[in-house]
Amino acid sequence: MDSSLLSTATAETFNGNAAEQIAPPMQPPGTDMTGICFRDQLWINSYPLDRNYVFDYFALSPFYDITCNNETLRRRSIHPLDHSHLSKMTGLEYVISDATEPNLFVFRKQKRDGPERVTPMLTYYILDGTIYQAPQLCSVFAARVGRAVYNISKAFSVAASKLETIRQVDAESEKKEASEPKPASETVDLKEMKRVDVILTSLYRKLPPAPPPPPFPEGYVSQEALGEKEELGTQGGESQQPQIDPIIEQGPAKRIKF
């Protein structure tokens, strides 16, 4: 066999084997994975679920980002949750924020920019061996508001179906009111008002003036004059008897007998 053909065949075989041996790069997990969960019953039956092994169990789930600093520590044979090493690194990392062994473990994914500067990103929890992603606060608010709006709209539709008779009665009353003739509103004519004022003024000028009041009889004193005299008498210290009105005290008029 020709050596050139042998070398070409060997190169093609080598390239094919290399392509099969190199695994494709893993994609980082998505931001919203609340619709899925992960559970490996075989692993749970083989290893205890505690702080020493729980991270290895979490690394099997699709929520795990292989580019995190914890994976770097695992490759160095260092515990992936060792805070003394994680605080010296920058980038993505996972930490246990809360735990109630062996039923509940809460993981927080965060971005570290320094020893004391971290930015929380996502939260995951392991409940009785099943791994979930905790929903974000904005998603919780959106779901609650959507549910409240749905319930309110449903309540309004039920109320509207039960109030159809009232609407019919209102419509009939409106039609009846519309059919009844309404009295025309009287409009005020300014020219007519001015004309009436001119007529009244001219009549007032043509009429003679009112006659003066008749004189009082002799001995009659008005009530105003009596009041003034009483005030003067009180100020002088002498009490005077009230004068008798001659008009009132004349008694009944004598009638002529026929």
Final residue of a domain: which of 152, 174, 196? Answer: 174
Q: Are strands 104-112 and 130-133 parallel, antiparallel or unpaired?
A: unpaired
Mark whether 120 and 141 lie in a shared domain.
no
Predicted pLDDT of residue 72: 94
Q: Give me the sheet containing 130-133, strands edge to edge.
A: 91-100, 104-112, 118-127, 130-133
Mark whether 72 and 155 lie in a shared domain.
no
Query: What is the domain extent for residue 166?
Result: 136-174
Predicted pLDDT of residue 110: 95
Distance in Å from the first CA to the final CA of the chain: 183
User: Is it the case that residue 159 has pLDDT exceeding 50?
Assistant: yes
pLDDT in tens, 49-84: 999 999 999 999 999 999 999 999 999 999 999 999
Report the percentage of the chain scoring pLDDT > 90: 39
Mark whether 156 and 97 lie in a shared domain.
no
Predicted pLDDT of residue 201: 86
Stated as kind and residue range, the H or E segment containing 7 is: helix 3-21
Structural domain contains residue 147: yes
Predicted pLDDT of residue 251: 53
Domains identified in the chain, total number: 2
Structural domain contains residue 51: yes
User: Is it the case that residue 29 has pLDDT exceeding 70?
Assistant: no
Give the angle subtended at the CA of 35 by the CAs of 33 and 39, to the nearest 5°.
Answer: 85
User: Is it the case that residue 190 has pLDDT exceeding 90?
Assistant: no
Mark whether 141 and 131 lie in a shared domain.
no
Structural domain contains residue 250: no
Mark whether 122 and 51 lie in a shared domain.
yes
pTM: 0.49
Structural domain contains residue 186: no
**Largest distance between two CA atoms of the chain:** 183
Final residue of a domain: which of 106, 135, 164? Answer: 135
Residue 7 — very low, low, confident or very high, per pLDDT cuts 50/70/90?
very low
Mark whether 161 and 118 lie in a shared domain.
no
Residue 183 — very low, low, confident or very high, per pLDDT cuts 50/70/90?
low
Mark whether 62 and 106 lie in a shared domain.
yes
Predicted pLDDT of residue 244: 57
CATH number of the domain that 50 lies in? 3.10.450.580
Predicted pLDDT of residue 16: 42
Q: What is the mean pLDDT of the chain?
A: 77
Q: How many helices (H) and strands (E) does the chain have?
A: 9, 4
Q: CB of 109 within 8 A of CB of 133?
A: no
Gap between the Cα atoms of 16 and 18, Å rounded: 5
Structural domain contains residue 208: no
> What is the rounded average pLDDT of the residues 209-213?
77
Predicted pLDDT of residue 158: 83
Give the residue, 101 or 223, on which the prediction is more confident. 101
* Residues present in the chain in total: 258
> What is the rounded average pLDDT of the residues 157-176?
70
> What is the rounded average pLDDT of the residues 104-122?
93
pLDDT in tens, 235-249: 555 555 555 555 555
User: Is it the case that residue 203 has pLDDT exceeding 80?
Assistant: yes
Structural domain contains residue 57: yes
Final residue of a domain: which of 107, 135, 163? Answer: 135
Mark whether 130 and 67 lie in a shared domain.
yes
Mark whether 80 and 144 lie in a shared domain.
no
User: Is it the case that residue 120 has pLDDT exceeding 50?
Assistant: yes
Contacts of residue 139, defined as CB under 8 A and 6 or more positions apart, other chains included, come to 32, 34
Predicted pLDDT of residue 239: 54
Structural domain contains residue 155: yes
Mark whether 85 and 160 lie in a shared domain.
no
Mark whether 117 and 144 lie in a shared domain.
no
Structural domain contains residue 141: yes
> What is the rounded average pLDDT of the residues 93-111?
94
What does each C-alpha distance from 19 to 8, 16, 246 come to in angstroms?
Answer: 17, 5, 144
Mark whether 128 and 50 lie in a shared domain.
yes
Predicted pLDDT of residue 84: 92
Give the residue, 16 or 186, on which the prediction is more confident. 186
